[in-house]
């Protein structure tokens, strides 16, 4: 069973938007065990859309089109698909009632052109749109299945969850697929792959390595008759991976290090204070992306200048004069200052050279020092990314912030010998 994605929209071909729908759908289809072999982007053009769909139908079992379901004359997807497949359109009363209701609730009159959005393919399955006006739909013909979805992610994503996934599961799921993401920090992709190289050749579950923003992850995917069996097969392999990688693993199916850090802080009832120099707010931003972060995080200080490091955080002018702002001692003093100012139980700090250029004193871009303190013990980590030049700034800042979160989670996991490296 294989699938092809077609994203429709001239705005994608002009580079005005990133095609996040294709990523979302690719991931969801992979999780269903359906292989996406091709994805295409085509503009709002009748002929090219029809050609692209015809080719997709010739080589793929399932074709998912996203975009082009709006009310304007540019929105051609539904019309062109039905023409190409030889399926007539009919007006769907429930879709029309929903669209009318949608406008009524917003207190704006429904334009006549919105009426065309209530047209659906004869004999197809309709997916109603809980966030917008355009319904989605699925049409089957000659053993092929074509699914049409609205383009905006805030409409497409819930429609997939609520309508399309259940539809596909019912229709195509022979057995069940379960997948787990084992997320690590502190090891490169190739070093990780080496430690589990024998597992990478497995067939069921499969194990595949990926690198992502300075992290490495392993995806374990199992197929079995029931989802419980598939989950058990996954879990056995995850246990084996755990025995190889140990505390390098910060989570399984966790969205990111900030989630692990916040969860462990909540569990331990501790609060975190933050002092940031080169990351300048990024650690605080990541922590507070986790809903409920306010339970564990109250105060962050962005101390971008030496003066603020001295005045607000109490860093010693002498240390700054002797060693500069990017050194282990300043990181240590910043963490102590953050603990004091925030009144938290634990504080983490970072000072470094984000780049793209080296510091005036010749310290390289990508060098940072981080400290974590609980008021009694202080741990210091030195990080060198080796990245400089254009594009390095964002990467270096992100990796520094990940190291800070990694120190927090290792502390709370009791892995004190791995928090610092100095």
* Positions in 33-62 near a copy of itself (CB under 8 A): 35-43, 45, 48, 52, 55
Query: In this complex, which beta carbon is closest to a copy of itself, that of residue 90 or of residue 104?
Result: 104
Among 101, 200, 386, 422, binds a copy of itself (CB under 8 A): 386
Measured between its terminal Cα atoms, the distance across the chain in Å is 53
> Could you give the string, one character per residue 227-256, with x where binding to a copy of itself holds by CB under 8 A and - elsewhere?
------------------------------
Binding of residue 270 to a copy of itself (CB under 8 A): no
Q: Which residues contact 102 (CB under 8 A, 6 or more apart)?
A: 110, 132, 133
Q: Identify whether the C-beta of residue 263 lies closer than 8 Å to the C-beta of residue 253.
A: no
Q: Is 75 in the site for a copy of itself (CB under 8 A)?
A: no
Q: Is 402 in the site for a copy of itself (CB under 8 A)?
A: no
Q: What distance lies between CA 111 and its chain's CA centroid?
A: 37
For the bound state, the minimum distance from the C-beta of residue 353 to a copy of itself, rounded and expressed in Å, comes to: 11
Rule CB under 8 A: say whether 341 interacts with a copy of itself: yes
109 near a copy of itself, rule: CB under 8 A:
no
Rounded Cα gap, residues 365 and 314, in angstroms = 26
H helix runs in 127-195, sequence order: 153-159, 165-172, 189-195
Contact region with a copy of itself (CB under 8 A), list: 138-146, 228-236, 307-315, 406-414:
307-315
Binding a copy of itself (rule: CB under 8 A), the pick from 194, 197, 228, 294 is 294
| Shortest Cβ 186–a copy of itself spacing (Å) | 19
Could you say whether residue 315 binds a copy of itself (CB under 8 A)?
A: no
Q: Cβ–Cβ contacts within 10 Å for residue 258, how many?
A: 23
Determine, following the binding rule CB under 8 A, whether residue 389 of this chain makes contact with a copy of itself: yes
CA 101 to chain CA centroid, Å, is 34
* Alpha-carbon separation of residue 71 from 54, 91, 379 (angstroms): 24, 14, 59
Task: Select 191 or 377, whichever has its Cβ closest to a copy of itself.
Answer: 191
Q: Give the residue with the Cβ less far from a copy of itself, 9 or 420.
A: 9
- Is 266 among the residues that bind a copy of itself (CB under 8 A)? no
Residues 6+ apart with CB under 8 A from 34: 1, 2, 3, 62, 168, 172
Question: Facing residues of 209 across strands?
Answer: 218
93, 103, 208, 289 from 110: Cα distances, Å = 15, 6, 50, 37
The site map against a copy of itself for 157-176 (x = CB under 8 A) is xx------------------
Q: How many residues bind a copy of itself (CB under 8 A)?
A: 83
Three-state DSSP state, 168? helix
Task: Name which of 242 and 271 has its Cβ closer to a copy of itself.
Answer: 271
The CB-of-42 to a copy of itself minimum distance in angstroms stands at 6
Q: Does 88 bind a copy of itself (CB under 8 A)?
A: no
Of 149-157, 236-244, 362-370, 402-410: span binding a copy of itself (CB under 8 A)? 149-157
Binds a copy of itself by CB under 8 A, chosen from 27, 94, 171, 267: 27
Please name every residue paired with 381 in a beta bridge, in sequence order, or none if there are none. Answer: 370
The answer to whether the beta carbons of residues 33 and 177 sit under 8 Å apart is: yes
CA distance 89 to 135: 13
393 forms part of the interface with a copy of itself (CB under 8 A): yes
Select the residue interacting with a copy of itself from 87, 144, 153, 242 (CB under 8 A).
153
Cα atoms in the 13 Å half-sphere on the side-chain side of 293: 20
- Rounded to 5°, the CA angle 21-121-43 comes to 40
CA atoms within 13 A on the CB side of 335: 29
Question: Which CB, 184 or 279, lies closer to a copy of itself?
Answer: 279
Q: Is 311 in the site for a copy of itself (CB under 8 A)?
A: yes
């Amino acid at each position: 069973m294989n699938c092809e994605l077609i994203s429709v929209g001239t705005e994608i071909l002009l580079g005005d938007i990133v095609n996040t729908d294709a990523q979302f759908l690719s991931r969801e289809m992979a999780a269903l065990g359906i292989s996406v072999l091709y994805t295409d982007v085509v503009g709002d053009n009748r002929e090219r859309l029809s050609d692209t769909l015809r080719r997709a139908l010739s080589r793929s079992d399932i074709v998912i089109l996203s975009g082009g379901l709006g009310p304007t004359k540019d929105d051609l997807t539904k019309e062109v698909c039905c023409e190409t497949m030889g399926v007539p359109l009919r007006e769907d009363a429930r879709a029309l009632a929903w669209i009318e209701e949608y406008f009524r609730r917003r207190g704006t009159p429904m334009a006549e052109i919105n009426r065309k959005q209530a047209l659906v393919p004869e004999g197809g399955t309709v997916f109603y749109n809980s966030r917008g006006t355009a319904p989605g739909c699925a049409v089957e013909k000659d053993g092929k299945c074509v699914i049409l979805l609205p383009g905006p992610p805030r409409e497409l994503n819930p429609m997939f969850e609520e309508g399309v996934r259940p539809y596909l599961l019912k229709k195509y799921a022979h057995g069940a697929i379960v997948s787990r993401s084992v997320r690590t920090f502190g090891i490169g992709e190739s070093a990780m792959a080496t430690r589990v190289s024998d597992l990478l050749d497995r067939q069921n579950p499969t194990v595949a390595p990926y690198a992502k923003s300075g992290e490495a992850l392993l995806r374990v995917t199992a197929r079995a008759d029931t989802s419980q069996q598939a989950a058990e097969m996954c879990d056995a392999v995850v246990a084996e991976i755990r025995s190889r990688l140990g505390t390098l693993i910060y989570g399984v199916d966790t969205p990111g290090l900030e989630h692990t850090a916040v969860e462990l802080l909540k569990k331990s009832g501790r609060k975190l204070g933050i002092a940031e120099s080169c990351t300048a707010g990024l650690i605080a931003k990541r922590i507070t992306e986790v809903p409920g972060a306010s339970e564990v995080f109250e105060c962050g200080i962005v101390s971008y200048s030496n003066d603020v490091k001295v005045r607000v955080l109490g860093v010693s002018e002498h240390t700054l004069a002797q060693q500069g702002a990017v050194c282990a001692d300043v990181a240590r003093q910043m963490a102590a200052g953050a603990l004091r100012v925030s009144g938290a139980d634990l504080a983490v700090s970072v000072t470094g050279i984000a780049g793209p250029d080296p510091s005036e004193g010749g310290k390289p871009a990508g060098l940072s020092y981080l400290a974590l303190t609980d008021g009694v013990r202080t741990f210091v980590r030195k990080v060198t990314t080796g990245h400089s030049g254009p594009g390095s700034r964002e990467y270096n800042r992100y990796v520094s912030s990940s190291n800070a979160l990694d120190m927090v989670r290792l502390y709370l996991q009791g892995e004190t010998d791995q928090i610092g490296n100095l």
